[in-house]
Structure 1
Amino acid sequence: MNFSRNEILDFVVNSIFLDRLELADDGYSAEDFSEETLILSEQGLGLDSVDVLDLLVGIEKKYQFKPIEIDSTFIDEVCASIGSVIDMVQSRMKIAA
């Protein structure tokens, strides 16, 4: 099954960032996020490695991916922005299909 970029963006923002990571409690709303939103950088969300792991586990569960091998390079490259996370999800869907 393929999901559009907007569907993945909606899941990541609403289910992960706002609900699971409780960024809504910090004053964020869905309108504050786009594919360009930086995840790790202090100029963006400034999330730490525990939050990023929560993001990746949520993605694994939602899209029924096999566990993702995670190392610092993966986190730096794939979790730089919401757009790069969406790219990873879509590429993993193609592999799984």
Structure 2
Amino acid sequence: MIKVGTVLESPQTGERLVFRSTAESSNGELFRAELTTQPGPYVVRSHLHPSQEERFVVLEGAYGYKIGNRTGTGSPGEVIICPIGVPHSQ
């Protein structure tokens, strides 16, 4: 099981994921991670979450996304919400 503070890094994409809250640390209520990405054309395929909402908070830079049929670019401080069951990609 992943523990709070665990860091995963991908040399292929330059992504870095730090686990801030896990199912174990929150009694199954919340999963929270800090994701750092590199500029570039890397795209996460469209997917959905059947039983949970996904949120992104842009800390710095810009973050392109598609949620359902809506596309946009998040700016620092913006919260991007992917509703339950709605396909989305980054």
TM-score, reference length from structure 1:
0.28
Bigger fraction of residues in strand: 2
Larger Rg: 2
Q: Which has the higher contact order (CA 8 A, sep 6+)?
A: 1
Calculate the TM-score normalised by the size of structure 2.
0.30
